[in-house]
Structure 1
Amino acid sequence: MIDVVAEYTEAAPGRTLVESGELVAGSMARTAAGLLFNDGSAKVRLDDALAGWLRRTATTADVDPPALVSSRARCRAGAALAFAAELSVTRAHQGRAVRTDGFLTPGPGDRAPADEVAEAAVLAARDTTEEWRVRHLGYLLAEAAVSSDLDAAVVLRGLRLATDLTGRQWVLLAGVGRRERTPLPMTPVPQDPRGWTAWGALEDLADLQRRGLLDPPPATPRPGGAALPRLRPVDLRLTRRGVLVHRLLALDFVRDPAVAAALADLS
């Protein structure tokens, strides 16, 4: 009996990683593991190429982790892959087909363009201390798998842009992205806030403008010291860079209370 258990444990690298994501992703992680490793317990199926990619990513991340990875970081990696499986089911129900342009197909060295994206996203999930972000890093994988207009280089650029931002900046992008269904405040943001929370939120907002993720760009001083125009949240728009990050991270799924709190920080 011990031999049988040892054989099962040894034969299931990758699955154990995804299941470990339960600490971050909840019980859904075990469902996702069953879906990816096809144990017959799942009521739905993923596209074979997509499931094979996520399974390959999980196995590689499990058997060849970076040195000195903490147990919590391992859980975050597993959770990211569980979230990728979760959104993949949703995208399939929405009729979005998995791409067939070679993105998921291993080539020389048994490595697909998608493998570079998955490795980078899993590393980002391991490294973040704001664990709510893990969901969106996993969602990036699911979105990339159905976005044939985005090659691996563009997806990696979007991921680099995203991982360089604060969590509140993700939430602000989410708020601007849903402006059509949830109107943004019309009250101007403070120009010289006294409270640290408002100051930090304004710094996050100005940084998004400087990075070219939000329009309008930061106001520049006028000749003669004329007063600068007052910026209102309602004036904000996603730039093309902002659209890329918003789309890849599926920021539509950021919860409304989080968006409301980030906007309130600007007041």
Structure 2
Amino acid sequence: MTAGLVLQGVSAGYRNRRVIEALDLPPVPPGTLLGLLGQNAAGKSTLLRGIAGLGQTRGTIALDGTALPALPAAKRAALVGYLPQSLPPPSPLVAYEAVLSACRAVRADLGPQAAEAAIERAFGALGISHLALRRMSELSGGQRQMVGLAQVMVRSPRLLLLDEPTSALDLRWQLSVVEAVRDAVRATGAIGIVAIHDINLAIRACDQVAVLAHGRLLAAGRPAEVVTPAVLAESFGVESRVEACSQGVPVVLVDRALPRS
């Protein structure tokens, strides 16, 4: 059995349009947080949806040796937690109830005490325990985004697929969220894939990154090896430099947009 996530020859898209074509991703081992980078329309969301079982897909998508497309929907949902870009809707439910409902929908094996403990851990890891009894309709977009992430994390899936989970958050919460996800996958041996626009945040917090361009994989591996001026020029169309900050962490500095070819 191959541990981790394997994607081979994966094509994904919609009924009349294929976005990802024959993508091969180096195996992603357990305990890894992978940052998915690329400009708008590069295929990041489409790839995550395809792995989650949404949309049209072909090819090998295997988790710990199990072919995900062959699983019944309920079994696949238990293994894979997917957070779309859209925020959880405002509702009369308090945040605790919203997360409890998500937990019960997938983790029927958890009794009341175990479910309560799982919710407390998720809220604590994300630093949102103070929101537990607030109604969803009273929360800001960023706060609802955090609750949506808690709805995924509380289920303890083997694979977390997070589509722009920091888009509505300020700088402090962006870093807190990505570090919380990274710590969770390392502690449990799960795998996290996070589509993210902030390249420097990905470099800082992710174990690996994969760069998409025009529906294909441009580069994948350790951030320091993958995020180079040449890759950024091809994927984002920018002239840039990669320098080290005072802590020795690579930092991308963008100088200008390159002319369109």
Q: Which has the higher contact order (CA 8 A, sep 6+)?
A: 2
Q: Which has the higher strand share?
A: 2
Larger Rg: 1
